[in-house]
Amino acid sequence: MPQSVPQVAAHEDSTPAPDGRSPWPSSESWTLTHSWADNGHCDYLQLPSLACQSSGTHVNAYYAQDFANGCDKSIYPIWDSMTVMNDHTQSGQADRLVMETTVGGTQYQTEYLHMNSVTVGLGATVNSDTVVGTSGNVGISSGCHLHVVVRRYHSSDARFYSVPATLCGRTYPPSSVGTGFGGCTLTPTPTPTPGPNPAIGGDYNGDGITDIAVWRPSTGQWFINWGQPAQLGQAGDVPVPADYNGDGITDIAVWRPSTGQWFSTIWSQPIQLGQLGDVPVPGYWNDDAVIDIGVWRPSTGQWFTAVWSQPVQYGQLGDIPVPGDYDGDRITEVAVWRPSTAQWFVNWAQPVQFGQAGDIPVPADYNGDESTDIAVWRPDTGQWFSTVWSQPIAYGVAGDMPVPGYRSTPAQSDVAVWRPSTGEWFINRASQSIQYGAQGDVALSGQLDWIAACRHRTLPSCTAAGTATPTATPTATATASPRPVSVGGIAEQPDLTVPPTETSTEPANHHTAYVLGGALLGALAIIASAAWAAKRRQR
C-alpha cells in the first residue's frame, strides 16, 4: 500500500456498492489483508482523466481493499457489461485495470492494481465470466495480491467516490482482515419480495373500512367480501386497485406487464405507461387528491408517472419500491428499501437503517398520525417491526402474506396476515379468522378493520352475501405480543408488487406460482390503501 498519497474526502460516500461476484475464481478462498483507510488514500478520481486529484503516482481510495492468494491467479470483473477505461500499455499503467459500468442507473467504477498481467485493452467490454488478467506483485507492493477499489459516480461534482465493495453478498470491513473468504460467480439479482402496497386494495364501497378482497388470476375475477364477483384482467396481469377518480371508492384495475397497459372499470380505454420488467406504483403523485398511475423501473432506478413531465431517478436494481406519505403532506414520496443493506431511502430524508435481508417491507400508518411509518415483517419468525413501536409484534407464520389494514376506530393500520394455504385472514384485533380466498388467488386488500366492518353486518358470524363465514377458531391466530402501540390504517399507494386471495364456492385448484405473485401484489395493496386512507382522513 502507498505511503505518499494524502487522504482526500475520506468516506464521503459510505453506502455500499451493489452486490457483485468475487474478483477471484469462485472455487478459491482469498484472504483479506488490508481494508479501508490503510495508510491514507485519495477518495476519488477526476473525470475525464480518471486521475486521482491528490498528488502522487499511485491511485488509491479510502475504501480500498487487498485480497491475497498468490501470484498469477485469474482475475474477473465483479459485474457484467464493464468497459475498460485505461490503456495498460501506457507508462505507469501496466499493473492497473480500471473498468466502468452502470448498475441500477448509477455509474460505478472498479480499479485493480499490482496485476502481473492485464489481458484486455482500452474500450473492451467484458462480463463477469471474462478473465481480465492475473494477480501479482507489481508496483508499490509487498507481496502477491489484488488491490480492489469500487467507486460510485457523483454528478454533483463529476467525481467517482470510493464506496465499500459488496462481493458475494458481504462487505469487508477492517475487522475482517486476516479472514479467508470463498469466491462466487455473479448470479441474477433475485426478485425481492415486495411488501404490501398502500395504494392497492382498499375501500370498495366507501364506508371507510378496507374490504377483504382477492383477485383470481386463472379467471380474471375479483371477489370482494360484500358483493358479487367482477370480471377484469387475465393471467399475467398485476392487480392495481386504487381510487383513480377521487370519489373515495377504490376502483378495480390491472396493469399488463407484457404491453405496459393499465385497465380499469372506470376507463373507456386502456392507458399506456410502463414496460415489461417495471413495477406498478400508483400514488398521490401531485396535490389533486386523485391517485395517478406510475411505474418504477428496477433496471435503471427510474420512476415514471402519468403526471410528471420527466422521470425521477431514485433507487437501484435489487431495491424494493416503498412509496408512501412519510411526511404527512398528502403527496406520495418516492422511496425504496434496500434488502442488501436494510436501508430505507426516502427522497427528502437521510437513509434509515431498519430490518434485515429476507424481511418484507410493510410501511403503513400504524400510529394514526396520518403519515407512513417504516415497518417490516419477518417471515421466518412472524414478527412485525416498526420505528413507531418499542417492541416487535409476533403475528403470522412462515408462508403467510402480510396484509396490514385500515381501521376506523382508531384510524390506524392493523397488522394482519393472509394464509394462502387455507385462504384465511388473521387480523390483530379481530376475535376470529376470516375465510376468504383460495390458493392461487391474490390478496388485494391489506387495510382491514374486521371489527368495524362487522358492525355493518350480522354478528357474530359477520356473514354477508358473497362472503364466506369466518371460522370460529383460527388455525394459527398470531397473538401480538405486545400489541401495536397504534394500529390503523391507510396503506399508502406505492408499489404494486404483492398479490392477494379470496374464498368462494370454486375449488382451490390453482397453481402455487400465483401465490408468489399474490404476495407481491398484496404488499403493493397495503401501500396504496394506507395512502388513500390517510388522505381521506385529511379531507
Reported as a single tens digit per residue, the pLDDT across 160-211 is 788 889 998 888 888 888 998 888 887 654 444 555 554 455 778 777 677 8
Distance, in Å, from the CA atom of 168 to the CA atom of 16, rounded to the nearest integer, reads 13
pLDDT exceeds 60 at position 314: yes
pLDDT value of residue 451:
25
Query: Over the stretch 410-441, which tens digit does the pLDDT of each residue have?
Result: 567 788 888 988 989 888 877 788 888 888 88
**Which of the four pLDDT bands, split at 50, 70 and 90, describes residue 482?**
very low
How is residue 391 annotated by DSSP? S
Q: Is residue 159 within 8 Å of residue 47, measured between CB atoms?
A: yes
Instruction: Examine the pLDDT at 390 and tell me if it is beyond 80.
Output: yes
Angle among Cα 8, 12, 16 to the nearest 5 degrees reads 125
How remote is the C-alpha of 464 from its chain's centroid?
A: 37
CA gap 176, 357 in Å, rounded: 20
The class that CATH gives domain 31-42+58-178 is mainly beta
Phi, psi of 459 (to 5 degrees): -100, 155
Mean pLDDT score, 100-114: 87
Q: Does the structure show a pLDDT above 50 at 277?
A: yes
Most confident of 196-205, 241-250, 475-484: 241-250
Instruction: Name the helix (H) or strand (E) containing 270.
Output: none
Q: Cα–Cα distance between 40 and 176 in angstroms, integer?
A: 19
User: Which are the contacts of 173, defined by CB distance < 8 A and separation ≥ 6?
Assistant: 35, 36, 164
Q: Cα–Cα distance between 176 and 34 in angstroms, integer?
A: 9
pLDDT for position 253 = 92
Q: Is residue 22 over pLDDT 50?
A: yes
171's CB contacts (< 8 A; 6+ apart) are 16, 164, 165
Neighbours of 325 (CB within 10 A): 28
- Which range has highest mean pLDDT (44-58, 214-228, 512-526)? 214-228
Categorize the per-residue pLDDT at 42 as very low, low, confident or very high, splitting at 50, 70 and 90. Answer: low
Strands, DSSP E only, in 190-272? 213-216, 221-224, 230-231, 238-239, 253-256, 261-264, 271-272
pLDDT tens for residues 344-379?
999 877 899 999 988 989 888 888 777 889 999 998
Q: What's the mean pLDDT in 211-216?
A: 87
pLDDT score for 163? 86
190-458: CATH topology is Neuraminidase (2.120.10)
Domain ranges across the chain: 31-42+58-178, 190-458
Grid coordinates representing 12? 464521503
Rounded distance between C-alpha atoms, residue 531 and residue 196, angstroms: 12
Q: Is the pLDDT of residue 526 over 80?
A: no
DSSP calls for 329-363: SSSPBPEEEETTTTEEEETTS--EE---TT-EE--
CA angle 42, 46, 51 (to 5 degrees): 70
Q: How confident is the model at residue 262 (pLDDT cuts 50, 70, 90)?
A: very high
Is the pLDDT score of 323 beyond 80?
yes
Instruction: Name the pLDDT band for 295 (thresholds 50, 70, 90).
Output: very high
Measured between alpha carbons, how far is 243 from 266 in angstroms, rounded to an integer?
Answer: 10
Neighbours of 410 (CB within 10 A): 12
Residue 535 banded pLDDT, cuts 50, 70, 90: very low
**pLDDT of the residue at 195:** 55
